Amino acid sequence: MIIQRYLVREIITTFLATLFVLLLIIVGNTFVRLLGAVSSGGLPVDALGKLVFLGSINGAIKLVPVALLIGMMLAFGRLYRDHEMAALHATGVGPKQFYKGIFLFVAPLSLLIAFLVLFIIPGLEQTNQNIKNEIKQRPEASGIPIGEFMHSKVGSQRFTIFVEDLDKEKMVMQRFFMHAEKQTKGDKNGDANSAKHTETILSAQKALLYIDQNSGERVLKINTGSRYDHDKKTGEFTIFKFSEHGIHVPALKIKNKKNLEATPTLSLLKNTDHESQAEIHWRIALIFSAPIMALLAFPLSYTTPRQGRFGKLALGIVLYAIYANLIITGKSMIEDGKIPNWAGLWWVHIPFILLALWLVHRQYDGVK
């Protein structure tokens, strides 16, 4: 038991150090990318910290398998270099005792990863998506994506807005276009003659979106443009030009692609489509990747005194890269229906488990 506690302490130390270094690299790249978006006006400053924090948590969870592989190989590599492994083998300590020590740490770590992957990460992804949607709803011009048609519907009224460019201060919209369509049914007595179907097209050189301090509504202040009103029922047109014009605009209804990463696990289990099943197997793969990498790291860390501590570290990283790419490829194949849902990603996990067992058997054959 003392030996197993010693192994756990060595593994935890190198694992945390490796995870910290990898996380610094990932978070650093994320921070630089988001900081560039802030400097260009595409992202508000107050959202920078939130997105970096959420990305750090998400990245830390996904980096655990590779950090565990590298950390364990470094830990056992040191034991081989300092001849501690030779001393342990001489006293009759075999692979069973080593794996007991390894999984004293890896088992609770895997349970923690399972909880985070199944229940925490979807919430983080949803929060991340909500922040991005909230940014697009900001009253500043930077809240409206440039070069995209934004659609909104409030009651019987539909809006389409397009902005070609922003000014240097990223506040005033340049070459603004809006299409509004409103259709109402007859009155309460069923008089169809009272029904209206109107269409408004508005274009202007400049526009500024802000929130009215008194009413709290979004107001669009438009300069130097034209407005075209069309009554589709009567066919009448009204055209006028203006130097300044104001209009109340409802909050934009943003259409997003289906984000399965933000979908709760229990909801995914109720769906039988390929995309939902692929996401489920992806989450299962994240959970199993940690114990599989731990199982593989121990025999890969075996080195002779002349090989040095980092003798097989490159091989371990290559194997992890192959493993991770196979998982990504397998997920895409499940989404496309090329792999049946019941097969999942087990065809990726099993060969690596068998490889680890074969390496242990070859290196410790006859050692109990």
What tens digit of pLDDT does each residue of 272-312 get? 899 999 999 999 999 999 999 999 999 998 876 666 556 67
Phi, psi at residue 136, to the nearest 5°?
Answer: -70, -20
Q: Give the pLDDT score at 132.
A: 74
Q: What is the pLDDT of residues 4-35, one digit of tens each?
A: 888 889 999 999 999 999 999 988 888 888 88
- Residue with the bigger pLDDT between 38 and 2: it is 2
Residue 94's identity, in one-letter code, is: G
Q: Give the pLDDT score at 368.
A: 46
204-213, 329-338, 346-355: least confident range: 204-213
Q: Residue 327: is its pLDDT beyond 90?
A: yes
1-5, 178-182, 334-338, 343-347: least confident range: 1-5
Q: Give the pLDDT score at 3.
A: 79
Q: Give the pLDDT score at 15.
A: 95
Number of neighbours of residue 172 by Cβ within 10 angstroms: 18
Q: Give the pLDDT score at 24.
A: 92
Q: Give the pLDDT score at 261.
A: 87
- Residue with the bigger pLDDT between 283 and 179: it is 283
Element (H, E) at 23: helix 2-39
192 pLDDT band, cuts 50/70/90, is low
182 pLDDT band, cuts 50/70/90, is confident
Give the whole-number percent of the chain exceeding pLDDT 90. Answer: 30
Q: Give the pLDDT score at 366.
A: 47
The structure tokens listed for 283 are 């989450």
- DSSP summary character for residue 260: G
Residue (of 260, 300, 257, 302) closest to 277 by Cα position: 260
Q: Give the pLDDT score at 221.
A: 84
Residues 283/345, Cβ–Cβ less than 8 Å: no
Q: What is the mean pLDDT of residues 76-84?
A: 83
161 pLDDT band, cuts 50/70/90, is confident
The structure tokens listed for 65 are 């398998």
Residues 278/331, Cβ–Cβ less than 8 Å: yes
Q: Mean pLDDT of all residues in the chain? A: 82
Q: Give the pLDDT score at 278.
A: 93
Q: Give the pLDDT score at 39.
A: 66
Backbone region of residue 235 per phi and psi (left: phi > 0; alpha: psi in -120 to 50; beta: other values): left
- Residue with the bigger pLDDT between 161 and 191: it is 161
Q: Give the pLDDT score at 141.
A: 44
- Residue with the bigger pLDDT between 140 and 309: it is 309
Q: Residue 142: is its pLDDT beyond 50?
A: no
Q: Residue 255: is its pLDDT beyond 60?
A: no
Q: Give the pLDDT score at 174.
A: 86
Residue 183's identity, in one-letter code, is: Q
The neighbouring-strand residues paired with 241 are 226
Q: Give the pLDDT score at 191.
A: 56
Q: What is the mean pLDDT of residues 203-221?
A: 76
CA distance 65 to 321: 11
110 pLDDT band, cuts 50/70/90, is very high
pTM above 0.85, yes or no: no
